[in-house]
Amino acid sequence: MAKPVKTNAMRWLDQRGIAYQAHQYEGDSRTTGLQVAQRLGENPDQVFKTLVTQGKSKQYYVFMVPVAASLNLKAAAEAVDEKAIAMIKEKDLLALTGYVHGGCSPIGMKKVFPTVLDQSALSQDQLIFSAGKIGYQIQMAREDFQKVFPIKIANLID
């Protein structure tokens, strides 16, 4: 029997005694967030994607929005008091965060960046997001997620 996979994000939560449920799905770097939700049989409104950006000030930010939504860059910039926000290049993601595109978790990055969660999450008791490896997701109580590290809540989608 194969040993269960533990990602950096899972180990980080384990070290802090924070409850979560791990999910596994078949996928690769081309698997969309909506496909992840479908493969897990979960509501796309509670499955969040992790987006890494850089502000005009050169500060990096992490934004989490439902997988079926798109990040409104203007709203994101306003949420973090930046003049403008841009997505970082996919080729820069691994060096910056330690994660690859399609497997980027807001937990366990190389550095902790200011993180903003879309306000739609407030209507969800449970959040599902990348566990830091393609094919793995973490599900945890929204309230526990908000305790993991300081996050801001803002309207980030149209």
3-class SS string, the chain: CCCCCCCHHHHHHHHCCCCCEEEECCCCCCCCHHHHHHHHCCCHHHEEEEEEEEECCCCEEEEEEECCCCECHHHHHHHCCCCCEEECCHHHHHHHHCCCCCCCCCCCCCCCCCEEEEHHHHHCCEEEEECCCCCEEEEEEHHHHHHHCCEEEECCEC
Q: What average pLDDT does this structure show over 27-31?
A: 87
* Confidence class for position 60, pLDDT limits 50, 70, 90: very high
Between residues 53 and 2, the one the model is more confident about? 53
Beta 48-55 vs 60-66: how paired, if at all? antiparallel
User: With pLDDT > 90 as the criterion, what percentage of the chain qualifies?
Assistant: 89
Domains, the chain, in order of start with CATH, read: 8-154 (3.90.960.10)
